[in-house]
Structure 1
Amino acid sequence: MPNIDVCGLVTREVKYGENSRILTVLAKDIGKVSVLASRARTNRSGLLTATQLFAYSNFTLFKGRENSLMKMNEGEVIESFSEIRNSLDNMAYASYFCDIANHICTDGTEENELLGLLLRVLKRLSVKEENTAESLKAECVFLFRALSIAGFAPNCDGCASCGKNENIKFFDIQNGVFLCGNCSAKPRQNTVEITSAMYNTIDYIVSSEINRVFSFSLGEKSLRYLAGVGEACVRNQLEYDFKTLKYLNNVRDL
């Protein structure tokens, strides 16, 4: 099989043998692939930086004979997002986002929209000084936009009962719909209270052009609450408890 040249983001790495890595790469045009990078953990290897977690790199791959894994001939880093490693919190955020992306994607299916979203979010986390509000904003954007890409976009067409777009008070996490204060006086099962600003923010995140998806304003307290709502939505819709979220919560509690 001839070599394949791809650019992709390393979303998972596992040590293999004494000095190799098995990678999960979200690659442009071809989607998620598993790759064996032999000797990638040695200082002499040109693959050391290109195969690190969160690295976006150009790779030359070929099909291995021994198993279904692709093998790596060459790698050259495009963007390492190395500043993420300056913050334990942002490392935890990035790991959580990559974990979700790996869960959503299926092997060999083009996922360029999700890849583009993930790159934008990692860029927001790649800062010299930690900014809690910006990290929470990145989380809100990634969670709700990723759900939308996966086919679980919240229905922001007003109240699910009366259709009115006023006095929205509750969000039904299980069904992805909103309810106004006139149709529901108190939270029902699987619903959470939200403000009009939060409702408008969710609507903006799932419907805006990707190059303007961060162009909204919300206070840090509201961002923190909305991020928690997004986490609950992801857990409910994907039916999976992410260990990386537990780690993120532990880090945030430090």
Structure 2
Amino acid sequence: MGIYKAEAIVLRSIVYGEADRILTLFTREAGKVSAIAKGVRKTTSRLRGAVQLFSHTRLVLYSGRSLDTVSQGEAEDEFSYLERDLECFATASYCAELVSRLTPEREPQPKVFFLMLSVLRALKQGDTELTARVFELKLLDILGYRPSLTECVEGNHSLSSAAGEVQRVWFSIEKGGVVCPDCAKSCEGLLSFSPATLGAMGYFLRSPLEQAVKARLSPRIMRELASLLQGFLAYHGDVQPRSRALLDTFRDGGAGNGHNKV
């Protein structure tokens, strides 16, 4: 590819050598890219502001065999508020880790790029727990793991009852969607949750992230969403992100800054 330009989000940054950093970038043009920013830890480096963790930035890179090299850069938005808000930082880290682990190298996926950019913007004002749930579901959808919410995945037919007319909804993580009450009688390993949780998932999928994160949901619905989506990610994406442990400390009340706990 030689020299190329990319609009990127810095998903990960690790120290390398005396003054360098190895970056995991998610670019609008080329998808996930691994790159080295040489000398960036020096106080005189002009790249420092352009390659900060979670920065939305415009870069010039040289292609390499295993790592590309960042040559020039200019930050569009550094999302500096994340440095002052540990819970928002932990949620951004979790979302970035999901993107990094669920996407292959150099496969353009602009919808993932814009979803990640949207979540970094939304976290400044939104509920961190709700934002994480919306992001999880939308990322699964983009990557081809959209759960079936209107068709019974066991009997391959439409649900016989509207969600508001039943007391509980049955869901198969293995088969990727809802199961009607009749089929649920002969199925094993199903999750049970409220119709309102099913409605919330449908709303998340229909709505832009910026709108979905403003929803008002009960603690019970949030718990059900967390359990279902975590199980879905582990089974279909084969991921159990390390950053999830930090989020769980907020959910369990181990830390906090006034936001809801993830």
TM (norm. structure 1) is 0.87
Distance 2:137 2:86 in 1: 23
Q: Deviations over 1:110-159 (max 9, x none)?
A: 111011111111111124xxx6xx11111111111111111111001244
Deviation at 1:211, TM superposition (A): 6.1
Q: 1:124 to 1:44 in 2, by over 3 A?
A: same
Distance 2:137 2:198 in 1: 12
Aligned twin of 1:98? 96
TM (norm. structure 2) is 0.85
Distance 1:119 1:228 in 2: 25
5+ residue gaps, structure 1, are none
Aligned twin of 2:179? 179
Q: Deviations over 1:52-80 (max 9, x none)?
A: 1111101011124xx42110111111111
Q: Deviations over 1:13-71 (max 9, x none)?
A: 1111111101010001211111100111222212112211111101011124xx42110
Aligned twin of 1:155? 148
- Aligned counterparts, 1:57-136, within 5 A: 57-64=57-64, 67-127=65-125, 134-136=127-129
Deviation at 1:183, TM superposition (A): 4.6
Distance 2:39 2:251 in 1: 35
Question: Does the residue aligned with 2:48 lie in a helix, a strand or coil?
Answer: coil
Counting matched residue pairs gives: 246
Distance 1:155 1:215 in 2: 24
Larger CA deviation: 38-47 vs 207-216:
207-216
Distance 2:202 2:27 in 1: 29
Deviation at 1:208, TM superposition (A): 3.7
Report whether the alignment pairs 1:137 with 2:130. yes
Distance 1:228 1:124 in 2: 23
Question: Does the residue aligned with 1:52 lie in a helix, a strand or coil?
Answer: coil
Aligned twin of 1:244? 243
Distance 1:103 1:165 in 2: 37
Deviation at 1:165, TM superposition (A): 4.2
Aligned twin of 1:43? 43
RMSD of Structure 2 on Structure 1 (CA): 2.3
Q: Deviations over 1:67-101 (max 9, x none)?
A: 42110111111111121222222211111111110
Question: Does the residue aligned with 2:57 lie in a helix, a strand or coil?
Answer: strand
Question: Does the residue aligned with 1:218 lie in a helix, a strand or coil?
Answer: coil
Q: 1:123 to 1:36 in 2, by over 3 A?
A: same
5+ residue gaps, structure 2, are 255-262
Q: 1:191 to 1:49 in 2, by over 3 A?
A: farther
